[in-house]
Amino acid sequence: MMAAGIATLAWRNVIHGRTRSLLTILSVAVGISSVTLISALGATGERTVVDEIDRLGVGGYSIYATSDSVSLDASDAESVSAEDGISAALPVVSRYGSFRFCAKSGSALIWGVNEQFDRVMGIELLHGRLPTASDLSTTNLVAVIDSELAERCYHRTNVVGRTIELTIGKTSRVFVIIGVISAQKSGLNQLVGGAIPDFIYIPYTVSVEMSHDTEADMILIKIDDSANSDAVVANAVRRLERRFSVSDGAFDVTDMSGYVDSLKSVASAVREVLSAIAAISLIVAGIGIMNVMLSGAAERKREIGVSMAVGARRKDIALCFLCEAMFLSVIGCVFGNLFGYFSAEIAAKAVGMGVCFDLKMTVEIMAVCVLFGLIFGVIPAIKAAKLNPIAALREN
């Protein structure tokens, strides 16, 4: 029997047993749609986390003191910035506080930064300007917010010139907004249920004055692309050790880029684990295919006997059953993918995000589905091929 004839006969068997085939296709579609839905939402979440981390501008290296006898401040950042290979150094003071802006209030992470803020953090300025050396020396009460906070309060991004009240501890000040940067955490905040506070940036000197603490949490450094990162960082640490007259171990260094890569890897691993768990439903669908094919072999004994009597080989019978199992798998896979993607689109839009379709994952899901259909169709195919044609012809 030719391959085209086998495929045609298998398709006729699928059409003939409409109810049975429909239920089998439905079981496969449900399994595939669950995998597709979780994979698509996982890819969307992973992309959102990666994009939001990139928007935060986290990069370079951070140097912080591990000894109680060492207290970093802005002058130490200036000293470090003089090291060869370092393009910028930023003393960072981050304090939890609150804000009141256009009759709205909320929690905020208030960052004290210097004039090299944009060079180290990699932010995108949309309107206005950023703090300058003059703002730091005169302790000007100026602030930079992101576009998400501006939109939430004024329904537009350009709010330069407006005032915002910030509170750190028991100290409150009214600041003039001088700049608006691109939103840094909107998508990430949606994923964690709005738990991330708003980021607001003010001059380092003002932050120190409001918190009554001159110590910087860390020094962020940006290294030239052409420089040897390890050597530059080691020289910067030695400079600080000489400055404070301390021995090795008084300072620690963190590669922020490596930390970000680790977070991205975790997000990817979570998506893969969830997809693997959802793939269990494919096994259930495969068992459904095997069950239907076994019952089909039992019901079509006489038909199989007639086929063998007119010259069909055992191999032809087995291939016919395998083709039938493959047809059921492919049809169920197509409908399951469509339903899964539509469901993912609806779920993503419900939380204000665009769904991410992973073409590679889609192809892999379809390949696995077809493979499962063939694997679970082997036993029914072998059983049908081993039927005794004389005994099969005697079946009513």
pLDDT at 394: 62
Q: Which pLDDT tens digit goes with each residue over 325-363? A: 888 888 888 888 888 888 888 877 776 666 777 777 778
Question: pTM, whole model, 2 decimals?
Answer: 0.60
Determine the 3-state secondary structure of 65 from DSSP.
Answer: strand
Distance (Å, whole) CA 284 – CA 256: 44
The token pair at 24 is 């089998």
pLDDT at 161: 94
Give the model's pLDDT for residue 390: 60
Structure confidence at residue 193 (pLDDT) = 47
Q: Please write the tens of the pLDDT for every residue from 27-40.
A: 888 888 888 887 77
Query: Which pLDDT score, from 0 to 100, does residue 289 have?
Result: 76
The residues that bridge with 173 in the sheet, in sequence order, are 166
For β-strands 125-128 and 163-168, DSSP reports them as: unpaired
Task: Kindly state the tokens that stand for 369.
Answer: 């589905």
Give the pLDDT score at 317: 75
Beta strands in the chain (DSSP E): 61-65, 86-101, 104-113, 125-128, 142-146, 163-168, 171-181, 198-203, 218-223, 251-255
pLDDT of residue 69: 79
Instruction: Please list the ranges in the chain whose pLDDT falls under 70.
Output: 1-3, 49-59, 184-195, 256-264, 267, 278, 296-311, 351-354, 384-396
Residues ≥6 apart with Cβ < 8 Å to 34: 278, 281, 340
Q: For position 180, what pLDDT does the model report?
A: 95
**pLDDT (0 to 100) of residue 12:** 78
Taking the CA atoms of residue 192, residue 197, residue 199 and residue 203 in that order, the dihedral angle to the nearest 10 degrees is -150
Residue 192's pLDDT is 46
Burial label for 311, CB within 10 Å (0-12, 13-18, 19+), is exposed
